[in-house]
Amino acid sequence: MLLGGDESLGSVVESAVGEAEAADVTVDRSLDDEPQPASGTNRKMMAAVAMPREFCIPRSCPIAAGHCGAPEAGTIWAPPMAAAARIVGAMGRLDRARIRDAVRMIDPVFLNTPQFECGSLSAALDCSVVLKVETLNPVRSFKGRGTETVMSNLAADGRYTSVVCASAGNLGLALAYSGGRRGFPVTVFAAETANPLKIERMRSAGAAVNLAGADIELPRVLAQEHAASTGSYLVEDSLDIGTCEGAATIALELVAADGNLDAVLVALGGGALASGVGHVLHELSPGTEVIAIQPVGAPAMALSWRSGAVVNTDTIDTIADGVAGRHPIPEVLQDLLEVVDDVVLVSDDTIKVGMRHLFDSAGLVVEPSAALGVAAVLEDRARFQGRRIATIICGSNVKRSDFERWVLDPRG
């Protein structure tokens, strides 16, 4: 909630803390003005500051007790006033009116994408499966919705003449498309290990691509430095609200075409897709469960969501490069805490099986990130049995040799 005229930030925090203490929950006030929370208790505390809801992780929660030196489960972090102000200020970053406005900004080639129930896949998974296919466009992913929103606003603003981003490939390709059609030079920083096909496509689309580091984290730093030194606008995926609100337009179409979805399964990387889709469903279809999925080899955002505070990881080990990161963005995590009902982890082996199902049942050639939803069903069939679900096919930028090895080779 936003503070009312008779409320101070302190009164909101103290009220939440008072409720915690009344519920026999330990309140930890030991942190300084710039806390680095890694506790499994922060998520509900932040929710308590923002809105009236149950706010304590149970004492038995293994996530709270088991990660990054978290205090005993059941302890609540009472943030200093400056930190609490940032928490309250971060609430409600997405706006449904702006999301509807984004539809008018986005190149129609990215809109009104195919959405259909796949009968053979439904039979194989024992639930009704609706596919929302976001790959039949010039950049072969959903990212164009976000970059179109960002670049439309940027062009109207008039203060910037060039843009830069860090990308595993899909954001950079989409930004090259959206920037190029508006006359903006685009610079992309990517890892040396990035998918060669995605690198080639970004360069073919006109982007200046610089390679550095073993994963996306060094390119993120280099993109920030480039923006600071050149005056280019930094498009930081998921933190830039336009990337989230552009992605959210997918959910407008989902709800308009099918109002009876029990659950929507969304790939989770930086968080733009999950937060955008989750925001719309939270408002327009509150009975629909929003489930985000990450690979077990890149679980940083999943661990962060479960613990309620940013959890950084040291390594990445997954074929799903499009959702592989180690350092979640705090503001995006807060968005996800508000609108995502569950986050699950799936194995690379199951992702490959999911890719095969999409190829065999729907004739779709997809990259690993696009199969996360199907993988989630495969790993927990009982949860979804008999339900009507939708999953977003978010990208298809996959090397032919990789697809053949993961999907067509019976040895996997």
Domain containing residue 126: CATH number? 3.40.50.1100
φ/ψ of 203, rounded to 5, equals -65, -40
Question: Are 179 and 113 in a shared domain?
Answer: no
pLDDT bin (cut points 50, 70, 90) of residue 88 is very low
Indicate whether 4 belongs to any domain: no
In tens, the pLDDT along 287-296 reads: 999 999 999 9
Indicate whether 8 belongs to any domain: no
Provide the number of structural domains found in the chain: 3
Residue pair 328/304 in contact (Cβ under 8 Å)? The answer is yes
Q: What is the DSSP string of 266-331?
A: EE-SSSHHHHHHHHHHHHH-TTSEEEEEEETTS-HHHHHHHHTS----S----S-GGG--SS--HH
Q: Which residues have C-beta within 8 Å of that of residue 100, sequence separation ≥ 6?
A: 252
- pTM of the model as a whole: 0.79
Per DSSP, 3 falls in state P
Indicate whether 220 belongs to any domain: yes
In tens, the pLDDT along 181-228 reads: 999 999 999 999 999 999 999 999 999 999 999 999 999 999 999 999
Indicate whether 6 belongs to any domain: no
pLDDT bin (cut points 50, 70, 90) of residue 27 is very low
Q: Estimate the crossing angle of helix 96-105 against helix 241-257, to 10 degrees.
A: 90
Question: Are 251 and 369 in a shared domain?
Answer: yes
Residue pair 290/47 in contact (Cβ under 8 Å)? The answer is no
Whole-angstrom distance between the N-terminal and C-terminal Cα of the chain? 49
Indicate whether 9 belongs to any domain: no
Which residues, listed in sequence order, are joined to residue 28 by a DSSP beta bridge?
77
Looking at 116-257, list the stretches that DSSP marks H as alpha helix, in order from N- to C-terminal side: 119-125, 143-157, 170-180, 196-204, 217-230, 241-257
Answer yes or no: is pLDDT of 75 > 80.
no
φ/ψ of 115, rounded to 5, equals -145, 120
Question: Are 287 and 376 in a shared domain?
Answer: yes
Percent share of the chain, pLDDT over 90: 77
Tell me the C-alpha distance between 47 and 53, whole Å: 7
Indicate whether 11 belongs to any domain: no
In tens, the pLDDT along 381-406 reads: 999 999 999 999 999 999 999 999 99
Question: Are 258 and 345 in a shared domain?
Answer: yes
Question: Are 46 and 171 in a shared domain?
Answer: no
Answer yes or no: is pLDDT of 173 > 70.
yes
Indicate whether 325 belongs to any domain: yes
pLDDT bin (cut points 50, 70, 90) of residue 42 is very low
Tell me the C-alpha distance between 149 and 143, whole Å: 10
Q: Which residues have C-beta within 8 Å of that of residue 188, sequence separation ≥ 6?
A: 164, 165, 166, 167, 172, 175, 176, 202, 207, 208, 209, 210, 223
Question: Are 135 and 150 in a shared domain?
Answer: no
Q: Which residues have C-beta within 8 Å of that of residue 119, sequence separation ≥ 6?
A: none
Question: Are 133 and 275 in a shared domain?
Answer: yes
Residues belonging to the chain? 412
Radius of gyration (Cα) for the chain, nearest Å? 21
Handedness of CA 385, 386, 391, 396 (dihedral sign): positive
Question: Are 362 and 380 in a shared domain?
Answer: yes
Name the token pair of 180. Answer: 């190029």
In tens, the pLDDT along 156-171 reads: 999 999 999 999 999 9
Question: Are 313 and 395 in a shared domain?
Answer: yes
pLDDT at 60: 28
Indicate whether 207 belongs to any domain: yes
Residue where a domain stops, chosen among 234, 251, 267: 234
Tell me the C-alpha distance between 38 and 40, whole Å: 7
CA 364 to chain centre: 22
Question: Are 84 and 217 in a shared domain?
Answer: no
pLDDT bin (cut points 50, 70, 90) of residue 412 is low
Answer yes or no: is pLDDT of 11 > 70.
no
φ/ψ of 135, rounded to 5, equals -115, -5
Q: Which residues have C-beta within 8 Å of that of residue 117, sequence separation ≥ 6?
A: 128, 129, 130, 131
Residue pair 94/279 in contact (Cβ under 8 Å)? The answer is yes
Name the token pair of 270. Answer: 């930086």
Answer yes or no: is pLDDT of 340 > 70.
yes
Question: Are 299 and 249 in a shared domain?
Answer: yes
In tens, the pLDDT along 232-272 reads: 999 999 999 999 999 999 999 999 999 999 999 999 999 99
308 vs 66: which has the higher pLDDT: 308
Question: Are 247 and 124 in a shared domain?
Answer: yes
Q: Which residues have C-beta within 8 Å of that of residue 51, sequence separation ≥ 6?
A: 1, 91
Answer yes or no: is pLDDT of 51 > 50.
no
Residue where a domain stops, chosen among 216, 234, 252: 234
> Containing domain of residue 178, as a range?
143-234
Average pLDDT of the segment spanning 278-292: 97
17 vs 161: which has the higher pLDDT: 161
Q: Which residues have C-beta within 8 Å of that of residue 405, sequence separation ≥ 6?
A: 412
Nearest one of 220, 328, 320, 238 to 277, comparing CA atoms: 238
Q: What is the three-class DSSP state of 332?
A: helix
Handedness of CA 354, 360, 364, 367 (dihedral sign): positive
